[in-house]
Each structure stands twice: as C-alpha cells, then as structure tokens.
Amino acid sequence: MAGVVDYVWMDSPVGRLLLAADEAGLRQLLFADGRSEVQPQPGWREDGTRVADAVGQLRAYFAGQRRTFELPLAPEGTPFQQRVWRELLNIPYGQTISYGELARRLGNPNGSRAVGLANGANPISIVIPCHRVIGSTGKLTGYGGGLKTKQWLLALERVGSGLELPLH
C-alpha cells in the first residue's frame, strides 16, 4: 500500500468491519469475524478521516437507503483479480450471478475456478459486491464474512430491490 494508511473499526449488522484507506482510496473492507483473523497492519494509523464517506455510505446501505457506493477504490491485486473485481461492480443491486457467468463475462467460460479464487481474494467486501456471486445451482457458496453474512446481505438487497431471489 502506498502512503499512510488510515483505518477504523465499524460496527455493523453483519459484525465488526475493518476499513482502511490511503490517499488513493479505500483499500480494504474486511470482516473482523470472517474466515481469517483481521488486524490493522503495522504502520497504519487509527483515523477515520479518510474512511468517513465509506462509513456513512455503508450505514445508509445497511439501513436500506443506498444501493450503490460512490467511493474511490484502490484494491491491491493481480491484473486478473483487478479485472474480476471491476466486473463484480457491474452486478446490479439485488441480483446474483454464478461463478460460471462471471467467467463468461470476462471472456473465459472455463475459468470459473480462477474467478472464484479472485472473488474470494476481494479486499473490499460489500462495496465490491462479491456476495452477489453464487453457485451455478443457486446455492450459496463460500464468503469471507461467512455464509450467514452472505445470506443476510442478499436478503437485505432482495427486500430493498423488490425482487424475490431464491436463497438455498
């Protein structure tokens, strides 16, 4: 990460979140109680100034008052991961797609496994909506914040969009 990274812990309906940003934008939004331990990196400073907009927009999202995020994003990853994460931003609020469909959209119909790995490495959960990617049968599959969190996020969006999406 370039420059000084500021971070803040945020309590949310899906648990405690760690948000980190530098001058380029939001770098991380991770679940404190997810599949791996999350801690601020050495040298980061606890300061909510750079993440204040993200915190406000997340609160509005959780309240059902926001469907899209308008934030500068600066996730770090390989060129392929970056392509996957950019494509995730094109999945509309309240909708889901399969890993296979995501791979097809990226021009690699046989790449669902690679897409799944890149999806799982997404460092800016919720804002880059990796929770909107599900198995080809409609079944919920792995999520960094846990399957209950994924189900909760999809239910929030289903209610907010007026769509009825099957949750298995």
Check residues 35 and 139 and name the one with the higher pLDDT: 139
Could you give the residue numbers annotated as active site? 130
Mean pLDDT of the chain: 90
Distance CA 43, CA 103 (A): 37
pLDDT of 6 reads: 96
| Percentage of the chain modeled with pLDDT above 70 | 93
Task: Please report the pLDDT score of residue 145 as a whole number.
Answer: 82
Q: What is the pTM of this model?
A: 0.90
**pLDDT over 60 (residue 164):** no
Burial zone of 117 (CB within 10 Å; 0-12 exposed, 13-18 middle, 19+ buried) = middle
- pLDDT, one tens digit per residue, over 65-119 is 999 999 999 999 999 999 999 999 999 999 999 999 999 999 998 888 999 999 9
- Does the pLDDT at position 161 exceed 70? no
Give residue 110's identity as a one-letter amino acid code. Answer: N
